[in-house]
Structure 1
Amino acid sequence: MAGRILDWLKREGGDPASPEADALARLAAAKDAAEAANEAKTRFLASVAHEIRSPLNAIYGYAQLIERAEGRDALAATRVIRRSAEHLAHLVEGLLDIAQVEGGAMSLAREAIRFPEFLDQLIAMLDLQAQAKGLALVLERPERLPEFVHADPKRLRQVLINLIANAIKFTDHGTVTLKVDYRNELATFTVIGTGIGIAPGDAQRIFAPFERVGGPAAERPGVGLGLAITQALVHIMGGEIRLDSVPGEGSRFTVRLMLSQPHTPPCEPAPQAGAVTGYIGRERWVLLIDDDAAHLAMVRGLLEPLGFQVCTASDSETALALAAQFQPDLVLCDVALGAENGWALAAQLRRRHGAALRIVMLSGEAPLAEGEGADHDSFVMKPFAFETLLDCVAGQLGIEWVRAAGEPRAAAPEMPAARALARVIAPAAAAHCAEIERLVRIGHVRAIEAEIDRLAALAPETGEIAERMRAALDSFDLKALANLARAVQADAA
């Protein structure tokens, strides 16, 4: 637009170098920047909506089957729901990563994953979506696949979900197949659909953001982002993606990725003790504060069977009245209470009841900056695993759990590797571990992952420590993770 203004001034005999022309050009440039930012926001929101559809459909569908008592295996259904919910949680945590795909600024994880199990879980997640259209979803793989391969499970899952979900969307009858081959550490994934196919002239366009091909495909829902994101992810992972399609007969998307095998099988995390069934000591009272009735019911359903007395409130006035009446030992308070502010409510509770009342804030938003919101004792990020919340409750109340196996979960053992740290890196390792311990208290998982990576990068000696910390974090054993961080600090002192 700025260029068009200068051209217009020349035609009209004006001076393109005048202050007025410069001001007009700057205004036009600002307008262009604002429009570009608005378009980027629209693309970002559309991308998020596209990415959540498949796991959300699995959760919604299986929940309806259980509700109607039509699920043949309720336990299997709940496992699919949990895995799909975990996938959604990963997507929420990675929203900024998705926005960075096209810019090529995304970092990848490298984990040892159980390859056959990963594929089985993927098919189970999408099978209901195929069944709803009367399609068969088939997994073809050789009898012998490596048990473990190195990959970024979140990004690999994202690629395959996009391709399989697309095949299901554009196939009205027949079969959708995921064929997997593995030779010389090269994994080949082929997604085959017997759908409407893609015309040769559209074969490249479909990988461009927001491109929608014409013909029958244009009638299907979508915003034209899935394949663009998929191609970008494949390239970031160092692979290639190819399309072969015949209109009216179907399409075949082939992805090739190097997925190396670990030199030695990864150590399995130590089995945890059984599920928590209660706690040792006197009866404790907990006040739950949240304006979401479903969340209140969920947390109440977790705590009451363990022996807690639980009262609930959905607003500040009710919460203050219940706290005065029952004198709870612990408050679990959401940060956003409709038009009210959970931080302000925590401050009132602290003034009225003092430090003896333990206050834990729950929120889907990032915790406040250091020094703000000092009237709470801990912070747990939504969505959270039950074990994470229970670890926080135990830490705040100083209670010991009774588990199904009859024993409390043992603390992580001391780490000999911590004592082997060279004196020159010991202070830096201790500083990273102190930060990890602080982040564990507030439940900031993404920040914990980043801090563990920084610890691992210090020197070869810290690699073993970092690996054990990652194993504890992967299993949501935050207590063991905090113990490891404290052990390093103690040995570095």
Structure 2
Amino acid sequence: MTSEITAAPDVRSATHETLEDYTLRFAPRSYRRWSTGVVAVSALGGIAYLADFAIGANIGISYGTTNALWGIAVFAVVIFATGFPLAYYAARYNLDLDLITRGSGFGYYGSVVSNVIFASFTFIFFALEGSIMAQGLNLGLGMPLWLGYAVSTILIFPLVIYGMKVLATLQVWTTPLWLVLMVAPFVYLLFSHPESVGAFFDYQGDSDSTNLGSIMLAAGVCLSLIAQIAEQIDYLRFMPPKTPSNARRWWLAMITAGPGWVFFGAIKQAVGLFLAVYLIANLSDGAGIANQPVHQFLEIYEDIVPHAAALTLAVVLVVISQIKINVTNAYSGSLAWTNSYTRVTRHYPGRLVFLAFNLAVALVLMEANMFDFLNTILGFYANCGMAWVVVVASDIVFNKYLLGLSPKQPEFRRGMLYAVNPVGFGSMLLAAGISIIVFFGGFGETVKPYSPLVAIGLALVLPPVFAVATKGRYYLRRTDDGIDLPMYDEYGNPSGAVLTCHVCQQDYERPDMAACFTHDAHVCSLCLSTDKVGDHVLPAQT
């Protein structure tokens, strides 16, 4: 009974779901009360960020319009293709990407590495978005950048404390104003300065010609956003059950808010480049501010309204956009860090501890002025993010559905999975490691621009190769969880049947439970995660 005593305090903290928001387990039916439309709008609210405008401007200035647009197109195709199976699994089985990753070739502890990659993504992009917000506050209020960084960080903390319930309301209510403020300047520019379209397509940037190397370098920067699908999934896991009556709405919401986010992102990148080219061509100091979204919008607003009003509109747009995305960055980061820490230490400190940690790391990056070396950071990070996401997508498509070597239904509970599965874990390490060597010129300057292709190609091919080589034996440690109740209902949705955990005395739905090894009772996945002795964990099945 030792682990009963040690696990209970951690689990009592984790079951305060108003704050913890199902950090370590699947989202149960009893909590998923939102419609498909609300979930989709909430998920898409998280892509309101202005970093796309900066990314589009940066790659355009470096590689020219044509190379940048082709790079953006490559980015969109890769993101949609890899994001589709992940988003489907999240919405169908109500799991975040870490829980999906565990059963998709990584193992119970193996997915900790991918979780750290994602957590790093959240504070890198929080810092990027916070820097943009600080630029807006500096321009509009004269606030020093260092103070703007602190304000943009501290402001987010109280908004993220209560998880999905507050975030859904925030995203839904701020989206209409954000759309008007963002779209109006671009539409105005197209109609009032039609000559800017020709100048946009003629822009060469620092590149002399259109070539595959420049296209792939541009695509590599954009593909750093590949881990955004994990943030979309943090919302999609709250989708209602898919039934014949809501199937069309369910698919539309899943596709639009899941892999479909990339089309909105690609459009914003192209618009960011368009605005940058306009500033470079029409302002004497345009080149110095062309990659800063707050200046991009301010200059266009000033063509429409007086300076004071234009400044107000630009600052409002920046603040709304950055709050919408950074609540998502902070929220998802807190989930990822907590999940990893709890698995490794078997201690649950609470999501809010890692919310504070994630924000602190982001603030340090902002104060270090990471905005000045954005392309290098994103280009390097893209290799890690692509290796992880593409490996999971490959395992779902090839190993689960085509080869049948990976269990089709996801599994995430301790005791049911091996600690590490070489199929996904090994594939990710090889794909990321080799592509990073390519990125830094380890195989010569000629192939250096193609590190994204190396990461994608290896991550796509290696999982089925490893699965065939191992005959899929390292996916499931057990196939029977000891509970004689169906896991799924008649429509294939996770069952809503409720069982009581004998350790923490809390009620959980069927997919969260397993039989206890030492007692004739049930134990929840939370208590399994925090069981320091391991006497509740089922043994390997022979």
TM range (shorter): under 0.3
Give the structure with the larger strand fraction. Answer: 1
Of structures 1 and 2, the larger Rg is shown by: 1
Identify which of structures 1 and 2 has the higher relative contact order when contacts are C-alpha pairs closer than 8 Å and 6+ apart: 2
TM-score normalised by the chain length of structure 2: 0.25
